[in-house]
């Protein structure tokens, strides 16, 4: 099943070519896309012809160590969204992005915090990552809370990318959150 990570309640695995409909459905929910596109869906042909092929190539590029992974409830095997842990395309492997996109049915369940904490542990203990970063819009308090719960802190404010100027709150910009391996280690139980 290409399992990448297992938490108490969520299993992450590699996306497959036949998973396009899951991504189309996820990106069709206006609430899911609220802080990404102002609620506009990603066109199905863009998902099938660009987004999914790019995700699949990422597994090869980073030898399976990094990428965007499909998330399933372990108990029911229901698709809940995706999580990513990945460097920039040509960037160093010790600086990675942490992110996620969840179906509305999974909101408020604690999945984001649970899986993000597990991804940080994997990044810092198994993948030789030095720093993990995440970005969110200023109005997206739910994502900010997740990053704060896993120990990340704001390192700078961000302007709004041109392709997101129609998004609610675009005039407020966003935030970059980061955590270093040293900071993460200091937060672990039993650290001095």
The dotted CATH code for 3-187 is: 3.40.630.30
Q: Name the pLDDT band for 192 (thresholds 50, 70, 90).
A: low
What is the distance between the alpha carbons of residues 45 and 110, in angstroms, rounded to a whole number?
32
**What tens digit of pLDDT does each residue of 145-171 get?**
999 999 999 999 999 988 888 888 999
pTM of the predicted model as reported, rounded to 2 decimal places = 0.95
Q: Map residue 189 onto helix, strand or coil.
A: coil
Q: Give me the pLDDT at residue 175, please.
A: 97
The terminus-to-terminus CA distance of the chain in angstroms comes to 39
Q: Give me the pLDDT at residue 89, please.
A: 86
Give the residue extent of every domain in the chain: 3-187
Contact call for residues 124 and 184 (beta carbons, < 8 A): yes
**Helical axes 111-125 vs 141-149, angle rounded to 10°:** 50
Q: Name the pLDDT band for 2 (thresholds 50, 70, 90).
A: confident
**What tens digit of pLDDT does each residue of 126-149 get?**
999 999 999 999 999 999 999 999
> Is it the case that residue 1 has pLDDT exceeding 60?
no
What is the distance between the alpha carbons of residues 132 and 179, in angstroms, rounded to a whole number?
5
Q: Which residues contact 138 (CB under 8 A, 6 or more apart)?
A: 157, 169, 172, 173, 174, 175
């Amino acid at each position: 099943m290409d399992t990448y990570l297992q938490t108490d309640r969520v299993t992450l695995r590699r996306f497959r070519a036949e998973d396009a409909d899951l991504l189309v459905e996820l990106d069709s929910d206006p609430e899911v896309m609220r802080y990404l596109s102002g609620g506009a869906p990603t066109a199905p042909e863009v998902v099938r012809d660009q987004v999914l092929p790019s995700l699949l190539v990422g597994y090869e590029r980073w030898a399976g160590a990094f990428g965007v992974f499909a998330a399933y409830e372990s108990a029911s095997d229901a698709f809940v969204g995706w999580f990513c842990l990945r460097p920039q395309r040509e960037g160093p492997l010790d600086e990675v992005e942490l992110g996620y996109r969840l179906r509305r049915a999974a909101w408020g369940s604690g999945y984001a915090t649970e899986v993000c904490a597990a991804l940080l542990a994997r990044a810092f203990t198994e993948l030789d990552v030095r720093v993990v970063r995440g970005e969110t819009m200023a109005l997206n308090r739910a994502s900010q809370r997740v990053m704060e719960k896993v120990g990340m802190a704001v390192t700078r404010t961000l302007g709004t990318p041109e392709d997101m100027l129609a998004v609610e709150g675009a005039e407020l910009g966003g935030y970059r959150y980061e955590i270093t391996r040293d900071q993460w280690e200091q937060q672990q139980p039993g650290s001095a």
